Structure 1
């Protein structure tokens, strides 16, 4: 089956979804399948396979399950072994230790595995898009639209509540930004998308969000995160950091507006330092 989804990816699109049994990924999978994209969902527990396969019922795309542990991805070669099995056009990293297993496991998944998948994926010309699900306070700098209360709230989360998670995620995010810069220097069409939600909630999505220039405090539905991710991936003009909270703007309208603006929420970061990183 052949069709056009945008100007950069032709034929049936293949998505590698890492962290496939996470709550955001479970919302995202049927959205991608509804686009006639094929999804390979990577999970650690084989008991989750049947639940994920059910997400493909009555969908035009095909879903597969690959049982692999992100805990074991300690090299680019290990990441490449999974990429070789799938040959994806798009990679989505929606995995996370979520505090389970302590700081060591958080570092292993949210930093080490993430960085190896970023490096392996961006080295492959066939991978046209990589979407990372991060969080809104994962930054060393202060964006110009934050006020003092936003900065204080972010500092509190990063130093008092989730210090190990912050250290892992900000390291992966900066690695991603540097690797994306180098990839775009030789391939301007590549899309590096960093989606950065606020506090995740299980409430149903009302289809409206605050996307882009937001504060550092607030909630967002996991379903809305998935819907925004799908909307960002569907386009060929979305790149950069996107902060996300519940809000009042319809999702498709918000994504289209920011794409037209050429939005990138990495503003406020030390780009010279980040882009000088070895990837």
Structure 2
């Protein structure tokens, strides 16, 4: 069997730094993309005593202004899996947020989905990135999400919800085109949507799937859930994530058995009709 190759975008982010050793421990090979060459040695050190290999690629997402730019990186790495753990992080104002979190993300999504060898794309988004109100939210959840999206992080919301919907639409079109009926053969568009992030150690217990819109989650837990979702061939869709009481593997298995997809409640006709 060939070794699984992962393209990890935003490789120096806090979640990515937790995720990298977890994927290397699976004997997967990672190409970690960073903007600052000073971070190369720190990331390379994550591969110490791991069964997988890690390479660092210095490339700025600010420069990904077309699908062709993203395709050039995919041509170089030839990954099986693409993970988007990147973000402008509030640096550079609304224009850079749009350039990275929306424009570059959508170009990478389009390039990855168009490439038959890429089987999975995992997007790290956030819990309130949606235009509709899911039936399981309380009034307090809806108010909290609206406050974040319209008053606290409006530029981030506008960028992330565009990227999230783009991924959902592109994956839907690919699977329709390929005629993939068997879940294990379908392109896996995994959208992991954590609540407020903390740097607390993970205790391995989470709430995954149907959650409220308020609450914290450890960055380490986000990475552990991402690794668990990527390890299976039957995951896909939107997964909201908070700290909780259920073991990570059990939570993932439950969501799969329930055929859970948190995109429920969104205008799917509009999303799937998007030009991707």
Q: Fold conserved (TM > 0.5)? A: yes
From 104, 127, 135, give the equivalent of 1:136: 127
**After superposition, what is the alpha-carbon deviation per residue over 1:243-279, rounded to whole angstroms, capped at 9, x for unaligned?**
0000000000000111111111001100001111100
From 49, 52, 64, give the equivalent of 2:43: 52
Rounded Cα–Cα distance in structure 2 between residues aligned with 1:36 and 1:144:
40
Residue in 1 aligned with 2:107? 116
Deviation at 1:230, TM superposition (A): 0.2
**After superposition, what is the alpha-carbon deviation per residue over 1:109-162, rounded to whole angstroms, capped at 9, x for unaligned?**
000000000000000000000000000000000111001000000000000100
Residue in 2 aligned with 1:74? 65
From 8, 22, 37, give the equivalent of 1:17: 8
CA RMSD in angstroms, aligned pairs only: 0.6
Divergent runs of 4+, >2 A: none
Deviation at 1:170, TM superposition (A): 0.4
Residue in 2 aligned with 1:194? 191
Q: What secondary structure, in the 3-state scheme, does the structure 2 residue paired with 1:263 have?
A: coil
Residue in 2 aligned with 1:211? 208
Is 1:252 the equivalent of 2:249? Answer: yes
Residue in 1 aligned with 2:171? 180
Bigger Cα displacement from structure 2, 233-242 vs 185-194: 185-194
* TM-score when normalising by structure 1: 0.96
Deviation at 1:186, TM superposition (A): 2.8
From 51, 76, 80, give the equivalent of 1:89: 80
Residue in 2 aligned with 1:220? 217
Rounded Cα–Cα distance in structure 1 between residues aligned with 2:87 and 2:216:
18
Residue in 2 aligned with 1:103? 94
Q: What secondary structure, in the 3-state scheme, does the structure 2 residue paired with 1:194 have?
A: strand
Rounded Cα–Cα distance in structure 2 between residues aligned with 1:58 and 1:212:
34
Which consecutive unaligned segments of at least 5 residues does structure 1 have? 3-10
Which consecutive unaligned segments of at least 5 residues does structure 2 have? 181-185
Rounded Cα–Cα distance in structure 1 between residues aligned with 2:175 and 2:21:
30
Deviation at 1:194, TM superposition (A): 0.3
Is 1:160 the equivalent of 2:160? Answer: no
How many residues matched?
Answer: 270
Residue in 1 aligned with 2:260? 263
Residue in 2 aligned with 1:278? 275
Rounded Cα–Cα distance in structure 2 between residues aligned with 1:208 and 1:200:
15
Bigger Cα displacement from structure 2, 175-184 vs 125-134: 175-184
